[in-house]
Amino acid sequence: MANPRIRTLTWWRKWAKRDWAIAAVGFTIILFALTLLFDSRNPDLNSTDDLVPLTFLHRAKATGAFCLDGSLPAYHFQKGFGSGSNSWVLHIEGGGWCNSIESCNYRKRTALGSSNYMDQLVQFSGILSRHPSQNPDFYNWNKVKIRYCDGASLAGHPESEFKNGTKLFFRGQLIWEAFTDELLSLGLSNAKQALLSGCSAGGLATLIHCDDFRDHLPKDATVKCLADAGFFLDEPDILGQRTMRAFYHDVVQLQGTAKSLHKNCVGRMEPSKCFFPQEIVKNVRTPLFIVNPAYDFWQIQHILVPDASDPHGYWSRCRLNIQNCNSSQIETLQGFRNSLLKALSELQQNEEVGMFINSCFIHCQTLMAETWHSPRINNKVRNVFIIYYGDKMIVFRIYHDSQNKKF
């Protein structure tokens, strides 16, 4: 059988521009319809039993692991049961980054910079769902949602804090270490299986801390990492400017994240380049899975077509809805997609790395029930993807009727 990763990438290359545009629009419509159908047929999925309370990381105070505003970091924890009692799935929340004193000061007045603004109860869904019909592999595992409140993918260092009255805490690395210590004390230290995952900036944090997570767990435990919509590209925008590279440079300089990045990388290139996943994954030893849309709408709106690159609003409708793109814009989007596939192709020979890349116009898919595990329609299952966590690398399958077809 052909390598599943290579087959997936080859399959996408066969699509014509018109095909992927139609598919992306169609997926958006189908996703909306599935959401309505899914909720109407599963009212129990919105029950209060799914609401998981916020837990403050009280141990963090002793180590100075504070959110941007100095408040305590927090998480949501749901204890596993039965066959999942010794298995863990952690998910790191996403939410971008702050790259300046001004943006970090704004951020500290939100739930992405202060636990004072976080919801006391959140609903677990997708990869964190407790429902076996929607999350058959992880429903009874110990599940943790790590809230994101440092603005640097849990990689900032206090040595970079300003002492001029700004009252900003750059403690991302300390937050990560405090989370690790607390969860180990709750039973993670005895894990037989563990999956570290994250979405967006949380996906980047997953890549940064993947090996450290592995190193804290028993040697005989099966440990893997999953980055969802966290493979951010170092690509020029439509004006040829390296907007994302400049942004990451400011984040790294402001919060001192270089100390959390691999020494081999920062020793041979500018540290901000090492903040890009394409460089990070070169040094990750732990089995890794990448879930990413080829047309990630966040990256299209902030890397390919940031506001400053489109002063006359030529892209204003297209960057928000792919259905509004003209042929020239679609060609540009196709080029961005090809850049992603090229970057990922470098990983194809690594047997410890797997990936699922689709052509959806979306950002983050593992926390939504509709894109994690689709419902039955007329007794036919239409799964976008499911992860099977076994002895070997995660395998993706798509079911049609009673058939089981591997990719």
pLDDT tens for each residue of 162-197: 866 778 999 999 999 999 999 999 999 999 999 999
CATH topology of domain 4-406: Rossmann fold (3.40.50)
Q: Which residues contact 55 (CB under 8 A, 6 or more apart)?
A: 74, 75, 76, 77
Q: What's residue 397's pLDDT?
A: 34
Residue 327 designated active-site? no
Which entry of 200, 260, 272, 374 is annotated as an active-site residue?
A: 200
Q: Which residues contact 20 (CB under 8 A, 6 or more apart)?
A: 294, 295, 334, 337, 359
Which entry of 234, 260, 296, 359 is annotated as an active-site residue?
A: 296
Q: What's residue 208's pLDDT?
A: 98
Structural domain boundaries in the chain = 4-406
What is the mean predicted confidence (pLDDT) over 375-390?
39
Whole-number Å distance between alpha carbons of 389 and 189? 19
pLDDT tens for each residue of 67-99: 999 999 999 999 999 999 999 999 999 999 999
Look up residue 403 and give its two tokens: 């058939």
Which residue, among 27, 28, 16, 26, has the nearest Cα to 330 in the 3D structure? 16
Residue 200 designated active-site? yes
Residue 296 designated active-site? yes
Which residue, among 316, 369, 298, has the nearest Cα to 135 in the 3D structure? 369
What is the mean predicted confidence (pLDDT) over 351-372?
89
Q: Where is average pLDDT lowest: 7-16, 248-257, 321-330, 379-388? A: 7-16
Q: Which residues contact 250 (CB under 8 A, 6 or more apart)?
A: 99, 100
